Structure 1
Amino acid sequence: MKLQRMRIEQLRQFRKPFVLDNLQSGLNLIHGPNESGKSTLVRAIRAAFFERYRSTAVDDLRPWGDSAAAPTIELDFEHDNRNWHLTKSFLQRKRCDLTVGTETYSEDDAEEKLAALLGYQYPKRGASKAEHWGIPGLLWVEQGTGQDIEQAIEHAGDHLKSALNSMVGEVASSGGDDLIETVRSQRDTLLTGTGKPRGDYLQLEKDRVLYQREIEELKERVHKYQEQVDRLGKLTQDYDQAEAERPWEEAQRQLEDARTRYQQVERLEQQQHQEKATLAQLQQNHRLLQQNKEHLEGLSRQLESRKAELDRAERDLSTAQAQTPMIAGRLQEARTGYEKAEQRRKLAVLLQTRERLEQDVRRLEQQQQILTQNLAKAKDYHQQLEQARQQARDNRIDSAAVKKLKATANQLNEETIRSRTIATRLSWELDANASLTLNNEPLTGQGEQQLLEESTLVIPGVGTLGITPGGEELASTRRKLKTLEDSFAEQLNTLGVESVEQAEDRLSVFESAGRTLKHAEDLLKSVAPSGIEQLVTEQSEAERELEKARSQLKATPEPDSKAQVAALEEAEAAFVQAGTELDKAESDERGHQAKLSALQQTRDNAKTEWQRLAEEEKSPERQQQLRQITTDLANIEKQQTELQASLERREREIREARPDFLKQDIERYQNAANHLRQTQENRGRELRDIKVRLEAWGAEGLEEQLNEKEAELDQCNRHYEELHRRAQALDLLLTLLTEKRQALTRRLQAPLQKHLNHYLSVLFPEASLEVDEQLRPGTFSRGSELGQITELSFGAREQMGLISRLAYADLLREAGRPTLIILDDTLVHSDSDRLEDMKRILFDAASRHQILLFTCHPEKWQDLGVPPLDIQASKEQAAQSL
């Protein structure tokens, strides 16, 4: 099969006709950027073959936003030395026409002819899916699906096997299949597909495990029973010995002794804390007295320091007072500059306001002009709308009734013709003076008449002949003809017309008025979306706004000289700068005043402090205070010496008592007493539990239960061994039969394996790829590597999928079946070396098949050896030609 030309129209992005021709019989490289239409062309080819022309599930073919489109596809191809031409349209104009040489097919016949040629089928309803695509689904690779080949082979499996059988004979149909299925059926009652037990066999295996588990549990319980008896004796001995010795009471006595010694140490620590507090208080008093003594002795030095501070404060105050006139002058200059900048800003704002009002007046004048024009157009469109409505009312007619009238007229015409073919035909040729009378009407000369009803023919001088047209068919035709005539007349009367032509004319005028009405409504909405009344309102509002803007403009005074008025941005900037300078001057003035106040306060405080110290130095009380402080210091030092000696003795006593060890002894003896009591209680509790447990187990008869379970296990083992031997025998027999069957299957797979090896040797030297019974590529081996094709990397699976498809195509070609290979952006995951090998493979396959390779990366295929076809350039040429 060689595709020569395709033409599409009103299909997705191809609204206008697009033609792809001059396709070569071998390799065709078709490229274009993303969204240029590559996938659309592939979808068009698939739709031409796979989709029913009358399908309603092909909305994806419709151009976006065009509900009236009729996607159309034309294909020209050659097969078996005959030219095939296919035309298929969908949705609004559903049809399918196929020309094969001089033969023509249409509608369903054309589609079935194509399906039989390429090896696929149509869905009973809805859109076509992968399970219907057959051979084309295997050879036409969609974008991103090159690595997925298993399902495609499954859907095309019957066609592939048919091709193989036609080449090597029906070796696949062996009489041993029934035997294999019988053995497999019997085996499957006992084993799963992976050889695991099932059914009764599985149940027996589970029962064996259950019996063994129960027996083990019983043995364990018997063993535990014996252990509990031994444990009871040991616990009884330990319990009685502990009750006699009562070790917890000795632990309690030691605990009380440890608590008493620790309380003595705590009293020593309390005394130590009290003495430390007293010593701290004496040390604090000593520091205070020492500070007072140093203060009194250093009063003369403080007096000199205060005199120096007073002199420095007076100098700082004089310096600050000298700066007052300069700061006041800068503040006045800043205020004057601020007032001038504010006046310039007001003038700039006034000028900008006036310019804005002038712009508003011009805008509103233009808006009023547009509204006036739209209002005039709206009134004109409204008049056209009313005229169209009147014409529609005058010619209103039901299109369904007209269609029914045409159908009745056609039926009446057909029945009239049919009645003439079966009516009794009367012909005559009389002499010049001779005449006859038929149903009271004279007949002369020559003529012919068809009789549908019983008639009377009078022959002068001879008599009267009665003519009765015979046959029930004529009577039925006559009744049906009468019914159709009455119905036709009634429909004409109902529609108020005299003929079908008049009804069609009225319908045409009515539909034309409807279209005119729709056009007028659209025009009216374009100028008056909310109606003429709203447009009038908007015009009035625009006039009011215009008058308001004119009044505001007139009321806004115009500056005396626009040339002297600075721009608003400049005036605003100058105003902000003047304000900043004024704020700084005011801040400086406030800071200066605050500084003066602070300096005056510092000078006054220094003077007051100097005067106070001078008076205090001359006071007689100062000498008395110095003598008293010296005596107090000596007494405090003596008391400190005595307390420190006492603290050292107390510290030694506490250290020798080891309070940390005493605390640990208390905790240890407490835990020991509690543990000994708890241990004895636990022994008593465990003794009671063991006695109750032994009484219960002794009542169960554990040894009798164990003997019964061992007997049941022995019976289950015998039955299990019987089914086990049968399952192994059936499994062995099925394996032997399957191996024989596979030997026959390998004869069936040999042609396909030959083509696979041809391509595989180019891509993977020294590698092999086996084909399973369903003709699917399965186990892949290369050197020491062995695995399934699905375990390869994504790029390798894509390459293996493509060479497998080419091998199937070679097989189909040898069987005389048509082939066409379509690759949409395939091999995008191949590295440069593998891609080079794949180019060799494609070039080789193109010598036997036509290949359409679509890609958005033409630079990767420029060494393919074929001229590329640029979709984007073809679209631009088509647009220019239009």
Structure 2
Amino acid sequence: MKLQRLRIENFKLFRAPFEIDGLTDGLNLFAAPNESGKSTVAEAIRAAFFERHRSSAVEHLRPWGESSATPTVEVDFELDGKPCRLTKAFLGKKRCELVIDGRPMDGAVAEDHLAALLGFRFPGKGASTPEHMGIPGLLWIRQGTSHDIASAVGFASDHLRNALGESLGELAASNGDAVLKAVEAERNELLTQSTGVPRGVYADANKLRAELEEKLEELLADVESYRSGVDRLSGLRRDHQRDEAAKPWTALREQLVVAQQRLDEAKGLDQKKTAQEAALKQIGAQVSSWRTQLQAMEREEATLAQREKNLQATQEGLARAIGELQAWEPRHAAAAKADAAAREALRLARQAASRVAQEKTVESLAEQFAVLLQSHEKAKAEQEKVTRLQAEAQALAVPEGELRRLRHCADALRTAQARLDAVATALEFELQPSAGVRVAGEELSGSTRRTVIARTDIEIEGVGRITVLPGGADLESLAIERDQARDELAALLQGLRAESIAAVEERVRQQALRKSEAAAAEAVLAALAPKGLGALAADMATREARLAEARKVLQDMPPAPADDAASLSSPQAESQEVAARAALETASAALNDAKVAAGNAREQVKAAEDELAAVKATLDDPARAGRKTEAGGALTDALAQQSAIQDKVAELAQRLQTINLPVLAQDVERLDRSVRQAEAAHNQRATEITRLEAELEARGALGQEEAASETQRELEHATRRCTELERRARALDHLLKLLREKRSALAQRLRAPLQKHLDHYLQILFPGAQVEVGEDLSPGRITRQGLRGAQSGAFEELSVGAREQMGVVARLAYADLLREARKPTLLILDDALVNTDEERLRQMKRVLYDAAARHQILIFSCHPEAWRDLGVVARSIP
């Protein structure tokens, strides 16, 4: 199958009709940028063959925003050497027309006939999907799907198997295959197809065996539990009778009474010790209080001398503070005077600096005003020049197109004159000086030439008249054409008030020259007055006003001082003022500190005098001596009581050391628990005996041992059944494996033609590599030589780029196989190798060039530079 022409209209991107013709039998390369319509062209080909013309599921074929458009595709192609034309219109005016070697068909009949020829089928309803596209779906690669080969091969497998010949079909329909299917069916009744897990009767037998094993285990556990219950009942009765006779809880209760008495006695001693310790603590507090009171009285007596020393020290400090204050007062006065002088000097210096700055401002403004005045004068002159040049250019202006019309008329006149001269009668004269010859009333002399287009009289003096009658059918029309061109030219020249075209051209040149000079003058004017003459005049007036104001300010300033203060610069005066202010601040701070220190010293002297008076008043109090004597006696009594209580506490502590109170408490708790536990255990044992007697009586009535024996027999039967089914399943599984291996070896030999074509292209792409053909006819394991020797891997384990390349190679091999089976082939590669590097792409071009000798290949790419060495000229879309 070879495409020859494609025409599409109202199809997605292409609203207007678009046609591709002149397709060659081999390689056809289409290179264009993204979104230019390459994939749309490929989709139009697919839609023409794969979609039913009456399908309503192809709305996506319409151009965007064109809800009433009718997508139309027309394809001219050759099939088995016969010319064919397929025309399809979708959605709007639906139609399908197929003409094969002059025989027309239309509608669904034409579509079904074409599907049978090319090896695909239509869906029951809806849009066509890859599973319906068969051989064309395998060979026509959509953008981004070249690496996905398995599913496409699966959809085309029936057609490929037919192309492999009758042998593979016979293999699929042979008795051996029937045996394989029968074995597989019987094996699958016992084992799952994929994982080999038991199923059916085999799974049921295993399940029954597991259930019986579980049931037997439960019954045996119940029998064992019954026997252990009988033994436990005998033990419980024996222990209960023993305790009933011995009554061990009575002895424990007597021990508990003795332990409680010992604990109570120990607690009484501990309480006495606690009371004595509390009394000792109280008397200790009293001793501390009386001792503190006596120590305070002694400290008050010692404070008198300390207060007298403090008073003397504060008086000396006051004298020093007053001396410091008196020393800083004259210094502060001198610093204040120096600061005032420095501030006055700074004022005068700043005044002088302001006057100098204002004088400079006046001088600067005067200079600026002079510059602006000069620029204004120059700008006015340039403005006049621009106005004059523009007026001259306007006067010389030639209306737009007039010069072109003049030249056109002159060319037409020359052409008409030349054509007229070519057919007119030419008269050449060689006259003697004395000859008198007149042509059309004009006297001639010497050598001359005249062209005659109408009746013309030649008068020769002394000879007579000669009348020339020129002939020619076109002579009159050519003369009229020449006269019209001459009149039009004369009218144009008259309208422009010019004598010739050269004068008009000179006028245009002069106009251009004036415009150029005006532009240069405008540039000068723009440089002198960027914002115009008005703005420049306003700026000049502003500067003049600012100059007058600055002069007025300078005039109002006080005159420069004549004393030494004027000799100081402003920075020097500021530096002196800062130093004087710092000295004043230092003197002020020191004077203030001296005042504060003197005030603090006076306060300290007064406070010391008050404290000394308070201490003397306290010591001179008549009741103080009595309180001191009373506190001494109370302290002596308290110390005696404290000693007596300490002796009692020591005696109680010594007695308690022989008694371990926590251990006694633990003994009471231990014996109490033992009594309660012994009684509870005796009662619980009696309850357990009653419960076991009832439970064993109930179990004995169930016949558990007989049930366990019956279950054991059933389990042995189920085990034998499972063993039989297991042997059968393993035998069938092994037999199926052997049959499949033999069938696979036979199928491998039958797939040899496809293997041959794959190897042919593979040696071009990967020299020395080998590829296996799977049972589904898709590429399987690939073995290549690498840096570490032979490397083998499945097709799915290759990189996306390598799978792209192998996908294209496999499709070329399928095309060769189909061609040998006399099936139609056409390959379409829509950006099929976008993940291929430069080196691999070079090898793939060799592969494609080799395949193009046998097949027509359409390549669509957005990288034209990558295909320059393919050997064909790239065509653009649209």
TM-score, normalised to structure 2, is: 0.53
Say which SS state the counterpart of residue 207 (structure 1) adopts: helix
Given residue 152 of structure 1, which amino acid in structure 2 is its aligned partner? A
Residue matched to 2:228 = 227
Taking a change above 3 Å as real, the CA distance of residues 731 and 613 of structure 1, as seen in their structure-2 partners, is closer
Q: Helix, strand or coil for the counterpart of 1:88?
A: strand
1:809 equivalent to 2:810? Answer no
Q: Match of 1:511? A: none
Q: Distance in 1 between matches of 2:314 and 2:660?
A: 60
The alpha carbon displacement at 1:80 in A equals 3.7
CA distance in 1, matches of 2:770, 2:92: 54
What is the CA–CA distance in structure 2 between the aligned matches of 1:283 and 1:797, rounded to whole Å? Answer: 106
Query: Are residues 1:122 and 2:122 paired?
Result: yes
- Change beyond 3 A, Cα 1:148–1:672: farther
Distance 1:843 1:291 in 2: 123
Instruction: Quote the residue 2:503 is aligned against.
Output: none
Q: Which residue of 1 aligns with 2:755?
A: 753
Residue 359 of structure 1 corresponds to none
Structure 1: which 5+ runs fail to align?
Answer: 323-562, 564-598
Tell me which residue corresponds to 1:820. Answer: 826
Conserved? CA contact 1:85–1:99, under 8 Å: yes
Q: What displacement does 1:154 show?
A: 2.6
Map Cα deviations across residues 262-296 of structure 1 (whole Å, 9 max, x no partner): 85687478559847965896698577987897689
Once the two structures are TM-superposed, the CA of residue 120 in structure 1 deviates from its matched residue by 0.9
Q: Provide the aligned C-alpha RMSD in A.
A: 5.7
* Percent identity of paired positions between Structure 1 and Structure 2: 42
- d(CA) in 1 for partners of 2:834 and 2:654? 91
Mapped partners of 2:836, 2:314: distance in 1: 96
Deviation at 1:673, TM superposition (A): 6.3
Question: The residue matched to 1:700 in structure 2 has which SS?
Answer: coil
- CA distance in 1 between counterparts of 2:225 and 2:126 reads 72
Q: Tell whether 2:81 aligns with 1:72.
A: no
Instruction: Describe the shift of the 1:227–1:21 C-alpha distance in structure 2 as closer, same or farther (beyond 3 A).
Output: farther
Where 1:55 maps in the other structure, the secondary structure is coil
Contact 2:73 2:87 in 1 (8 A): yes
Question: Cα–Cα, structure 1 residues 611 and 703, in superposed 2: closer, same or farther, change >3 Å?
Answer: same
Among candidates 774, 786, 789, match of residue 771 of structure 1: 774
2:28–2:858 CA contact under 8 A, matched in 1: yes
1:123 is displaced (CA, Å) by 1.6
Report the alpha carbon displacement of residue 135 of structure 1 after superposing the two structures with TM. 1.5
Match of residue 211 from structure 2: 210
SS at match of 2:96: strand
Specify the SS of the correspondent of 1:210.
helix
1:611/1:760 CA distance change after superposition, 3 Å: farther
Structure 1 residue matching 2:63: 3-state secondary structure: coil
The superposition leaves residues 572-623 of structure 1 with CA deviations (integer Å, 9 ceiling, x where unpaired) of: xxxxxxxxxxxxxxxxxxxxxxxxxxx9x99999999789657635534687
Q: Does 202-211 or 123-132 show the bigger shift?
A: 202-211
Alpha-carbon deviations, 1:220-258, whole Å to 9, x = none?
332333333333334444455555666667777567579
Matched, 1:62 2:68: no
Alignment partner of 1:127: what SS?
coil
Q: CA deviation at 1:749?
A: 2.4
Partner letter of residue 129 of structure 1?
Answer: T
How much has 1:51 moved relative to structure 2? 1.4
Amino acid at match of 1:67: S
What amino acid is the match of 1:616? A
Counting only pairs closer than 5 Å after superposition, residues 419-434 of structure 1 correspond to structure 2 as none
For residues 227 and 95 of structure 1, do their structure 2 counterparts lie closer, same or farther at Cα, with a shift above 3 Å needed?
A: same
Which whole-Å CA distance do the structure 2 matches of 1:288 and 1:29 have between them? 121
Partner of 2:617: 619
Cα deviation, residue 700, structure 1: 1.4
CA deviation string 1:483-538 (max 9, x = no partner): xxxxxxxxxxxxxxxxxxxxxxxxxxxxxxxxxxxxxxxxxxxxxxxxxxxxxxxx
| 73-82 or 660-669, larger mean C-alpha shift | 660-669
Code of the residue aligned with 1:699 in structure 2: it is A
Q: What is residue 133 of structure 1 aligned with on the other side?
A: 133
- 8 Å contact kept, 1:282–1:640: no
Determine helix, strand or coil for the equivalent of 2:822. coil
- Look up the equivalent residue of 1:61 and give its one-letter code: L
Query: Is 1:11 aligned to residue 11 of structure 2?
Result: yes
- Note closer, same or farther for the CA distance 1:3–1:248 as it changes in structure 2 (3 Å cut): farther
CA distance in 2, matches of 1:18, 1:779: 45
Tell me the residue number matched to 1:703. 705
**1:715–1:842 CA distance, 2 compared to 1 (3 A):** same
SS in 2 for 1:96: strand
Larger radius of gyration: 2
What is the deviation of 1:193? Answer: 2.8
Contact 1:143/1:826 (8 A) holds in 2: yes
Q: Kindly state the Cα deviation for residue 96 of structure 1 after the two structures are TM-superposed.
A: 3.3
Distance 1:814 1:281, change over 3 A: farther
Q: CA deviation at 1:128?
A: 1.2
Q: Aligned letter for 2:206?
A: E
Q: SS at the partner of 1:619?
A: helix
The amino acid across from 2:207 in the alignment is K
SS class of match (1:223): helix
CA separation in 2, counterparts of 1:257 and 1:787? Answer: 93
C-alpha separation in 2, matches of 1:633 and 1:759: 127
Contact 2:263 2:661 in 1 (8 A): no
For residues 164 and 730 of structure 2, the distance between their equivalents in structure 1, rounded to whole angstroms, comes to 35
Flag the 1:232–1:56 CA change in 2: closer, same or farther, 3 A.
Answer: same
8 Å CA contact retained: 1:258, 1:665: no
* Greater mean alpha carbon deviation, residues 156-165 or residues 34-43: 34-43
Q: Secondary structure at the match of 2:162?
A: helix
Q: Distance in 1 between matches of 2:312 and 2:47?
A: 114
Q: Note the residue ranges of structure 2 that are not aligned, 5 or more in a row.
A: 334-545, 547-596
Q: State the aligned residue count.
A: 597
Compared with structure 1, are the counterparts of its residues 846 and 239 closer, same or farther at alpha carbon in structure 2 (3 Å cutoff)? farther
Give the Cα separation in 2 of the matches to 1:33 and 1:295: 112
Alignment of 1:18-57 (within 5 A): 35=35, 37-57=37-57
Equivalent AA in structure 2 for residue 58 of structure 1: V
Q: Distance in 1 between matches of 2:207 and 2:164?
A: 47
Letter matched to residue 818 of structure 1: P
- 1:265 and 1:659 in contact (8 A); partners too: no
User: Which amino acid in structure 1 is aligned with residue 91 of structure 2?
Assistant: L
Shift of residue 743 of structure 1? 5.2
Q: Which residue of structure 2 lines up, in the alignment, with residue 595 of structure 1?
A: none
CA separation in 1, counterparts of 2:267 and 2:238? 41
Equivalent residue, structure 1, for 2:201: 200
Verify the 8 A CA contact 2:236 2:689 in the aligned structure 1: yes
Query: Is residue 95–residue 107 contact of structure 1 (8 Å, CA) maintained in 2?
Result: yes
Alpha-carbon contact 1:58-1:127 (below 8 Å) kept = yes
After superposition, the Cα gap between the structure-2 partners of 1:296 and 1:785, relative to the gap in structure 1 and judged at 3 Å, is farther
- Is contact 2:827-2:856 (8 Å) kept? yes
Shift of 1:760: 5.6
Query: Per-residue displacement from partner, 1:132-168 (whole Å, max 9, x unpaired)?
Result: 1111222334445445444333321221122122687
> Contact (CA 8 Å) 2:294, 2:628: kept in 1 or not?
no
Write the distance in 1 (CA, Å) between the matches of 2:216 and 2:605.
113
Q: 1:392-403 counterparts in 2 under 5 A? A: none
| Matched AA of 2:693 | K
For residue 57 of structure 1, report the CA deviation from its aligned partner. 0.8
Quickly say closer, same or farther: Cα 1:673–1:869, change in 2 above 3 A.
farther
| Equivalent residue number for residue 693 of structure 2 | 691
SS in 2 for 1:691: helix
SS at match of 1:73: strand
CA displacement at 1:722 relative to structure 2: 6.1
Q: In the alignment, is residue 153 of structure 1 matched against residue 156 of structure 2?
A: no
Relative to structure 1, the CA distance from residue 282 to residue 698 in structure 2 (aligned partners, 3 Å threshold; closer, same or farther) is same
Q: How far apart are the structure 1 equivalents of 2:642 and 2:27? A: 115
CA distance in structure 2 between the aligned counterparts of 1:212 and 1:606, rounded to whole angstroms: 110
Say if 1:256 and 1:647 are closer, same or farther in 2 by CA, change over 3 A.
Answer: closer
Shift of 1:705: 1.4
- Distance verdict in 2 for CA 1:241–1:611, change over 3 Å: farther
